[in-house]
Amino acid sequence: MTREYTFFITDAFTDRSFVGNPSGIVLTKGDMSDNEMQKAARELNHPETICIRKLDRDIYSARYFTPTEEIKISGHAALATFWTLAKFGYIGSSESKKKVLQYTGAGPLCVYLSFRGGEVDFVDVQLPEMKVTSAVEDLEALAEAFEVDADHIGTGDVNLIPAVVDGGVETMIIPLKKAADLHEVYPKRRNLAMLSEKYHCKSFHLFYYDEEKKIVEQRNFSPSVSVWEEAGSGTGSGCTYFYMKENGILSENRLRARQGQEVGRPSEIEVSEKDGHIFVGGTARIVMEGILRL
């Protein structure tokens, strides 16, 4: 007997179609196997696909998949999903703000939805508690992997040491002193694979901080989970914020980030800290709705 599931494709960190970071969203009913969810993610073939089901009022089970494996959390996929649920009336609110809870591989995390005139207009996703798992002191290896000058790793006049930050996804944060270096990096797959194995990380997040404009420009590469370059990374942005705060680069509890220009899908990302928790937020655009048949 054929089973049918509603699915969506939604672009996160944008208000326009075909830009931002796309996410697959499958509304499950609790009867999809792990293998079926993974195959659905492979079929939709976006950086991440979320298989979500409602457990109770304002409580959801959320499972996140790349085309090849399950991961604990995806910030952009969560934003896209809860924006979509609100747009289609699965989540409603008579007030200006709504809180829901998602159970993820990284634990229970809150999502705040802001409404204006009955329509969702912003989503804030709580990220897991973060920690630095290792310092990356071999700057020459990084320089070779990304074809940048080792002396250009850092920010401003400060020679910061890159680090792996675990924010649900183990992410190597690499600061660069020049915007030109960020835009011209040329990653080598074999080198990234060796760095991933050595430092136990899944993602490489490079950023340049424009101190005058108070904005981060960034790029994210995750070849170990079959995502070459992401257009907008929610968890990566959160890890960058955490890294900047830990190193005294950022005094404010907010950060704006831009990403995706190099892949033709610009993203506008907002990171904030409230009550000791880091959130990634933004808007989204639903571009497709369909039926998945199993």
Question: Does 158 or 85 have the greater pLDDT score?
Answer: 85
In this prediction, residue 42 carries a pLDDT of 97
Q: Is there a single domain that holds both residue 161 and residue 253?
A: yes
Q: Which of 4, 36, 43, 48 is catalytic?
A: 48
Q: Are residues 56 and 120 in the same domain?
A: yes
- Same structural domain for residues 99 and 196? no
Is the per-residue pLDDT at 206 higher than 90?
A: yes
**pTM as predicted:** 0.96
pLDDT-derived band of residue 156, with 50, 70 and 90 as boundaries?
confident
* CATH code for position 34: 3.10.310.10
pLDDT for the residue numbered 155: 82
In this structure, are 241 and 287 located in the same domain?
no
Q: Is the pLDDT at 108 greater than 80, yes or no?
A: yes
Does 48 participate in catalysis according to the annotation?
yes
pLDDT at 157 over 90: no
Q: Tell me the average pLDDT across 108-117.
A: 96
Instruction: Give the chain's count of helices (H) and strands (E).
Output: 6, 18
- Tell whether the model's pLDDT for residue 55 goes beyond 80: yes
Give Dmax (Cα) for the chain.
Answer: 64
Cα distance between residue 16 and residue 250, in whole Å: 30
Split into its structural domains, the chain has a count of 2
Does 125 lie in the same domain as 165?
no
Task: Reply yes or no on whether the pLDDT at 187 is more than 80.
Answer: yes
Mean pLDDT of the chain: 96
Q: Are residues 72 and 177 in the same domain?
A: no
Does residue 207 share a domain with residue 227?
Answer: yes
The pLDDT, as a whole number, for residue 158 is 75
User: Which helix (H) or strand (E) segment is 34 a member of?
Assistant: helix 34-44
- Domain hosting 148: range is 131-278
Q: Is the domain of 74 the same as that of 149?
A: no
Rg (CA), the chain: 19
